[in-house]
Amino acid sequence: MNLNTPIKPTWCPGCPNFMILAGVKKALETCGKKQNEMAIVSGIGCHAKIFDYINLPGLNSLHGRVAPVCLGLKVGNPNLTVLGFSGDGDAYAEGMEHTIHAARYNSNWNYIVHNNQVFSLTVGQPTPTTEKGFADKTMPMGVKTQPLNPIKLMLASGASFVARVFADIQQVEWVLKEAIKHKGFSFIEIIQPCLIFHPSIGYKEKTYSLEKTKHDKSSFDQAWKKAQEFDYNEVKKIPLGIFYQVEKPVFEDQLPQLAKLKKAGKSWKDIKR
């Protein structure tokens, strides 16, 4: 499988998005799917450039609209493995309503949010996950609001797989393969420091792996408790790994119109009507 494209990345030198790209490619190459069984979607922002660097079909969509496009792909071809790439601005500001409903629908696709706690492409304005007090040229008086905790949001919205990793090749590869195996909506947040506008200094040192603890990922109460350890404001401990994973009815599996396609392993365009 050759996932390379001729397009030269325009991310800043050293951007953790390069680690995410490498981890994603490794996961796709080894997840057991063929190249023509996968599709990718992205929003708008630095994260979204990943669309140009992976040789898979899909859509570089509109700002905040990753989730409905992924749902549309699954309804058009339930046999596709779909990966949607978003940013914290894309997923939690402009696309907030879609993010909530994606968790609620439990369609079988993977939502990967590169969270750098700022709108990077538009030069560093605060997003819903920026810490209180953060100040820069665009917000010289500092942020006055409390940040949103996306792990809590996804748990409360009904997501059946909720995970967070750091922008590290091995972590991204591992979590993505787990998410692809999961039947249902998989939410993965990747902490992706932006070296220019939000370097997240000291974050990596505070991370630890839930997989190395006694965490029971089938327990909503334990997941909720772990989600509160990092409030995106104060960096004391940052749990990484799978917070929550359970089986729930998958949206497209309940649609009788799609049963024929699923059984035949085909998409609408291959079916004679």
Ligand X SMILES: Cc1ncc(C[n+]2csc(CCOP(=O)(O)OP(=O)(O)O)c2C)c(N)n1
73 vs 112, which CB is nearer to ligand X?
112
53 vs 251, which CB is nearer to ligand X?
53
- Of 42, 43, 71, nearest to 58 by C-alpha is 42
β-pair partners for 60: 42
SS3 of 258, please?
A: helix
- Cα separation, 188 vs 179, in Å, equals 8
Indicate whether 138 belongs to the interface with ligand X (CB under 6 A): no
- Of 49, 138, 54, nearest to 87 by C-alpha is 49
Please select the residue that binds ligand X; options are 106, 108, 110, 127, rule is CB under 6 A.
127
Site map (CB under 6 A) of ligand X, residues 93-122, x = contact? -x-------------------x-x-xxxxx
81 vs 115, which CB is nearer to ligand X?
115
138 vs 209, which CB is nearer to ligand X?
138
Distant-in-sequence, close-in-space partners of 58: CB < 8 Å, separation ≥ 6: 39, 40, 41, 42, 51, 73, 82
Q: Could you tell me the smallest distance in angstroms from the CB atom of residue 76 to ligand X?
A: 24
Indicate whether 63 belongs to the interface with ligand X (CB under 6 A): yes
> 106: alpha, beta or left, given left = phi > 0 and alpha = psi -120 to 50?
left
Indicate whether 88 belongs to the interface with ligand X (CB under 6 A): yes
Q: Could you tell me the smallest distance in angstroms from the CB atom of residue 152 to ligand X?
A: 19
Q: Could you tell me the smallest distance in angstroms from the CB atom of residue 70 to ligand X?
A: 16
β-pair partners for 115: 191
Indicate whether 209 belongs to the interface with ligand X (CB under 6 A): no
Longest CA pairwise span in the chain (Å): 61
- Residue 161 is encoded by which pair of tokens? 């797989």
- Cα separation, 205 vs 166, in Å, equals 11
Q: Could you tell me the smallest distance in angstroms from the CB atom of residue 145 to ligand X?
A: 16
Q: Could you tell me the smallest distance in angstroms from the CB atom of residue 46 to ligand X?
A: 3
Beta carbons of 50 and 42 less than 8 angstroms apart: yes
23 vs 184, which CB is nearer to ligand X?
23
SS3 of 209, please?
A: strand
Number of residues that bind ligand X (CB under 6 A): 18
Q: What single letter denotes the amino acid at residue 113?
A: V
Indicate whether 226 belongs to the interface with ligand X (CB under 6 A): no
123 vs 264, which CB is nearer to ligand X?
123
- Residue 151 is encoded by which pair of tokens? 């792990």
Using the rule CB under 6 A, give the single segment among 45-53, 146-154, 161-169, 215-223 that binds ligand X: 45-53
Site map (CB under 6 A) of ligand X, residues 170-189, x = contact? --------------------
Residue whose pair of structure tokens reads 């409360």 in the numeric block = 156
Site residues (vs ligand X, CB under 6 A):
44-47, 63, 87-90, 94, 114, 116, 118-122, 127
